[in-house]
Amino acid sequence: MNIAIFASGAGSNAQKIIEHFRENKTIHVGLIVCNKPGAGVLKIAADNAIPVLLIEKERFFRGDAYVPEMNLHEIGFIVLAGFLWKIPDALIRAFPNKIINIHPALLPKYGGKGMYGMHVHEAVIASGDTESGITIHYVNEKYDDGEAIFQATCTIEPIDTPELLAQKIHRLEHQYFPAIVEKCIEKL
Ligand code: GRF
C-alpha cells in the first residue's frame, strides 16, 4: 500500500508519518504532493528520497485532479497534512473513504473556509475556551466536514498565546497522527 501525503507547509507531520512507516513492510509513503514551490516539505521529501508531485490549480480543480499520477504511483490512501486547497470531487470519487485530514482544533468548532494555521489558534484564544485539540477526519466535498475519526485535547492556560497553543497542538499531532493513519489503512 502506497500513501500519498498532500502538504504545502513546513511538513513536520509529513516527517513524522514518513518516520513511522520507514520500517513498515506493507505501507510506504510513496509520494509527496505539494502546491507550493519552496515549501519545507519538499526538502523533507528529498531527504527521504520520496518522489514529489508539484500540482497546479487549473488541472487540480478543472482537469483530472491528478488521478492518473496517483494511479501511476499506485497510491491507495491519501493523507492531508497541512494542505490548504479543497479536494476536488474527482479525487474524492477516486478515493472513497481513503482521504483523511488533520485539523488543528476540535471540530466542528473552528473549522471551515479560512480556518487554517494560526487563524485557528488566534480564534480559539480569543474565544476564551479552556481547551483545544486536534481532529482527524475523513474528507468529503466540504471543508472540515467529513466524519471524525479521532480527537485529542489539550488544556489552554491563561498565559497561552496563539503561538504557544500552536506548539501544544503540533505536539498532539505528532504524537497521534501516524498511528491513526496506520489504523485507517488497516481497516480498509
Ligand atoms: C498542522 O497544524 C495541521 O493541523 C494543519 O497544518 C499544520 C501543518 O503543519 N492542517 P506541518 O506542515 O505538518 O508542520
Residue 20's nearest CA partner among 188, 166, 173, 187 is 173
Tally of domains within the chain: 1
Q: What is the pLDDT of residue 28?
A: 97
Instruction: Tell me the average pLDDT across 127-156.
Output: 95
Q: What is the pLDDT of residue 143?
A: 80
Q: 38-59, pLDDT tens digit by residue?
A: 999 999 999 999 999 999 999 9
Tell me the backbone φ, ψ of residue 23, rounded to 5 degrees: -95, 5
- Helix H or strand E segment including 135: strand 131-138
Residue 2 has pLDDT above 90, yes or no: yes
* Mean per-residue pLDDT of the chain: 97
The answer to whether 6 and 79 are in contact (CB under 8 A) is yes
Task: Enter the pTM of the model.
Answer: 0.97
Q: 142-188, pLDDT tens digit by residue?
A: 888 899 999 999 999 999 999 999 999 999 999 999 999 999 999 99
SS3 151: strand
**81: domain range?**
2-186
Residue 94 has pLDDT above 90, yes or no: yes
Euclidean distance between CA atoms 109 and 61, whole angstroms: 27
Q: What is the pLDDT of residue 142?
A: 83
Q: Is 152 in the pocket of ligand 1 (CB under 6 A)?
A: no
Tell whether omega for the bond before 96 is within 30 degrees of 0, i.e. cis. Answer: no
What percentage of the chain has pLDDT greater than the value 70? Answer: 100
* From 6, 8, 12, 13, mutation site for ligand 1 pocket: most ligand atoms within 8 A of C-beta: 13
* From 84, 113, 170, 175, mutation site for ligand 1 pocket: most ligand atoms within 8 A of C-beta: 170
Q: What is the pLDDT of residue 63?
A: 95
| CATH number assigned to the domain comprising residue 176 | 3.40.50.170
